[in-house]
Amino acid sequence: MHKFFLALYLLISSLNFSHSQNKVTEVTYQRIINLNNLPEQYTAKQKQFINNRYKNYDLLSYTLLFNKNESLFFLSDSISGLFHDIEDNSLKKIILNEGEKKYYKNINEKKILYQTISGGEKSLIKRELNQIKWKLLNETKQIDRYNCFKAQLIYSNELLGYNKNMVIEAWYTPEISIPFGPIHFEGLPGLILELELGRNVYYVTSIKFNSNNIIQPLTEEEKVITQEAYSTYLKDFIEQISKK
Give the C-alpha separation, 99 to 62, whole Å.
10
* The pLDDT value given to residue 231: 75
* The pLDDT value given to residue 19: 41
* The pLDDT value given to residue 107: 96
Give the C-alpha separation, 145 to 173, whole Å.
10
Give the C-alpha separation, 181 to 218, whole Å.
17
* The pLDDT value given to residue 222: 67
* The pLDDT value given to residue 205: 96
pLDDT tens for each residue of the chain, 244 residues long: 555 555 555 454 444 544 455 699 999 999 988 877 777 778 888 878 777 777 777 778 999 999 999 999 999 987 766 666 666 677 777 788 888 899 999 999 999 999 987 767 788 999 999 888 999 999 999 999 999 999 999 877 777 777 788 889 999 999 999 999 999 999 999 999 999 998 889 999 999 999 999 999 998 776 788 888 877 777 776 666 556 5
* The pLDDT value given to residue 226: 83
Which amino acid, one-letter code, is at 193? L
* The pLDDT value given to residue 224: 85
* The pLDDT value given to residue 41: 79
* The pLDDT value given to residue 20: 54
Give the C-alpha separation, 127 to 133, whole Å.
14
Give 104's Cβ-side CA count (13 Å radius): 16
Give the C-alpha separation, 203 to 9, whole Å.
23
* The pLDDT value given to residue 82: 64
Helix (H, G, I), strand (E, B), or coil: what is residue 106?
Answer: strand
Domain boundaries, the chain: 2-243
DSSP string, 29-96: EEEEE--TT--TTS-HHHHHHHHHHHTTGGG-EEEEEE-SSEEEEEE-HHHHHTGGG---HHHHHHHH
Which amino acid, one-letter code, is at 62? Y
